[in-house]
Amino acid sequence: MPTRVVVLGAGFAGLELATRLSEAVPEQVHVTLIDQAESFVFGFTKLDVMFGHADIASVECHYSDIVKPSVDFRRQRVTSIEPDRRRVVTDGNTYDADILVVALGADLDPAATPGFVEGGHEFYSPQGAAHLATVLPQFTSGVALIGVLGPVFKCPPAPSESAFMLHDHLVRHGVRDDAAIHVISPLPKPIPVSVETSDAILAMLAERGITYSGGSMVTRLEPDAKRAHLADGRSLPYDIFLGIPVHRAPAVVVEAGLTEEGWIPVDPATFATRFPDVYAVGDITNAPVPRAGVIAEGEARTVADVIISRVTRGAPPPPYEGAAICYIEMGDEMVARVDVNFLAGSAPTASFRAASSAIAAEKRTFGQSRRQRWFS
Ligand SMILES: Cc1cc2nc3c(=O)[nH]c(=O)nc-3n(C[C@H](O)[C@H](O)[C@H](O)COP(=O)(O)OP(=O)(O)OC[C@H]3O[C@@H](n4cnc5c(N)ncnc54)[C@H](O)[C@@H]3O)c2cc1C
């Protein structure tokens, strides 16, 4: 009997995990991959959608295209999880797992910030990004505030990336001189792990006349007065507000008793939870690394290797080392690269490569290779 592996969530983490298990041990495991969505959308393509460089249909990767040995995809919503029995109930079925992997990501909660739903726009969901593509052409003058609304958010560079792309958008439309752009983020620097990367981003933002206020976040909007209130007591006027909503673990995971202080605690070496044979991976954990797709993918590889070593009775794999390559949009269709390693040494390391069109091409290849690997 193959080992029944049930993977909840087919994002960066779930897709990489299912693919690696299918490649390595198709005879020894059977993977049930469950997601409520019809398709996967890479986070970074939401920026393209928001600025009208791509339409949503062109960036969707349909789960129905997944054809892999020993992997069954189920489009269902997970409604309850019993981690001690490794039992999962969805709106279509009940699953009992030998090994359960929770990869449900972080939910967005726009309503958690008073005034945001009425007075702002989010670009972190595919729908939000597509809606903004219809709104942004109407913004031709005034203040654009790009604000983070919670202390934890995925893709630390995204606020700065969206500012660079907004600058380009306004230049293209001939209205940049009539607009101000201001980024407000809880991160003291755009990329806390790398002073060099942060300094490069801050210098390029300043060159373009974009203000970056680190170390604070927006807690409330006053839509009628068009003012954003910040945690540090300031309030700022805006004409358009682009927000990164509060992030939370999906309610089903909280109700299952899997979380502590909002996220799932894991052993960062193996991603085991406190429940036997239950792992958690990606944005949903409290692992001491940023929330990003490239990180989630690396974590999933480790979990896959842990499962492979178990079913093949091989040696345990090395612990997760926290390494990833992050691509950062810097405007003018140029992309910078930072190679990070969070856990291998005594302190995190990062090495920065300045923005170029060659790295932009490398980023495109990165996306295409995942699309091909996961959706074939
Ligand atoms: C604008 C933007 C830009 C980004 N740019 C980058 C970038 O350049 N590089 C990078 O590395 N990362 C980037 N990210 C971050 C990246 O997208 C996430 O960190 C990554 O997707 C996390 O992977 P995950 O597998 O943990 O979760 P997700 O990819 O979010 O997957 C979780 C899945 O669980 C499913 N799910 C949730 N609840 C349920 C339920 N109850 N039942 C069934 N299914 C459920 C969801 O539908 C989803 O498919 C960006 C994100 C955004 C928003």
How high is the pLDDT of residue 38? 98
**Cβ(10) to ligand 1 under 6 A?**
yes
Do 85 and 127 belong together in one domain? no
Atom of ligand 1 nearest to the CA of 106: 30
Q: Show the tokens assigned to 37.
A: 């969505």
What span, in angstroms and rounded, lies between the C-alpha atoms of 18 and 22? 6
Do 226 and 315 belong together in one domain? no
Whether residue 362 lies inside any domain: the answer is no
Q: Give the residue ranges of DSSP H helices in the chain.
A: 12-24, 43-50, 56-59, 116-119, 126-135, 158-172, 195-207, 251-255, 293-311, 357-374
What span, in angstroms and rounded, lies between the C-alpha atoms of 96 and 82? 10
Whether residue 293 lies inside any domain: the answer is yes
Residue 55 CB coordination number (10 Å): 12
Do 115 and 88 belong together in one domain? no
The residue from 229, 247, 265 where one domain ends is 247
How high is the pLDDT of residue 171? 98
Atom of ligand 1 nearest to the CA of 295: 11
The residue from 320, 352, 371 where one domain ends is 320
The domain of 180 spans: 109-247
- CATH number of the domain encompassing residue 74: 3.50.50.60
Do 239 and 126 belong together in one domain? yes
**Cβ(290) to ligand 1 under 6 A?**
no
Q: Show the tokens assigned to 302.
A: 């480790």
How high is the pLDDT of residue 113? 98
Do 148 and 238 belong together in one domain? yes
How high is the pLDDT of residue 376? 86
Q: Show the tokens assigned to 238.
A: 């805006």
Do 129 and 221 belong together in one domain? yes
Angle between helices 43-50 and 158-172 (to 10 degrees): 20
The residue from 230, 247, 264 where one domain ends is 247
**Cβ(252) to ligand 1 under 6 A?**
yes
How high is the pLDDT of residue 344? 82
Whether residue 62 lies inside any domain: the answer is yes
Do 46 and 69 belong together in one domain? yes
How high is the pLDDT of residue 345? 84
What span, in angstroms and rounded, lies between the C-alpha atoms of 162 and 275? 39
Whether residue 262 lies inside any domain: the answer is yes
3-state secondary structure of 310: helix
Do 212 and 143 belong together in one domain? yes
Do 120 and 94 belong together in one domain? no
Residue 276, exposed/middle/buried by CB under 10 A (0-12, 13-18, 19+)?
A: exposed
Nearest to 130 by CA among 73, 45, 197: 45
Mutate to test the pocket of ligand 1, among 6, 7, 35 (most ligand atoms within 8 A of CB): 35
**Cβ(294) to ligand 1 under 6 A?**
yes
Whether residue 341 lies inside any domain: the answer is no
**Cβ(47) to ligand 1 under 6 A?**
yes
From first to last of the 376 residues of the chain, give the pLDDT tens digit: 999 999 999 999 999 999 999 999 999 999 999 999 999 999 999 999 999 999 999 999 999 999 999 999 999 999 999 999 999 999 999 999 999 999 999 999 999 999 999 999 999 999 999 999 999 999 999 999 999 999 999 999 999 999 999 999 999 999 999 999 999 999 999 999 999 999 999 999 999 999 999 999 999 999 999 999 999 999 999 999 999 999 999 999 999 999 999 999 999 999 999 999 999 999 999 999 999 999 999 999 999 999 999 999 999 999 998 999 999 999 999 999 999 999 888 899 999 999 999 999 999 999 999 999 999 8
Do 255 and 218 belong together in one domain? no
Whether residue 27 lies inside any domain: the answer is yes
**Cβ(43) to ligand 1 under 6 A?**
yes
Give distance in angstroms: CA of 18 to centre of ligand 1: 16
DSSP 318: P
Do 22 and 141 belong together in one domain? no
Nearest CA to ligand 1 atom 8: 44
Nearest CA to ligand 1 atom 51: 43
Task: Answer yes or no: pTM beyond 0.75.
Answer: yes
Mutate to test the pocket of ligand 1, among 6, 104, 371 (most ligand atoms within 8 A of CB): 104
Whether residue 357 lies inside any domain: the answer is no
Match 């505030």 to its residue by tokens.
Answer: 145
Residue 142, exposed/middle/buried by CB under 10 A (0-12, 13-18, 19+)?
A: middle
Do 121 and 229 belong together in one domain? yes
Whether residue 161 lies inside any domain: the answer is yes
In sequence order, the 6+-apart residues with CB closer than 8 A to the CB of 200 are 330, 336, 352, 354, 355
* Contact criterion met (CB below 8 Å) for 28 and 3: yes
In the chain, the number of structural domains is 2
Atom of ligand 1 nearest to the CA of 162: 1
* Contact criterion met (CB below 8 Å) for 330 and 199: no
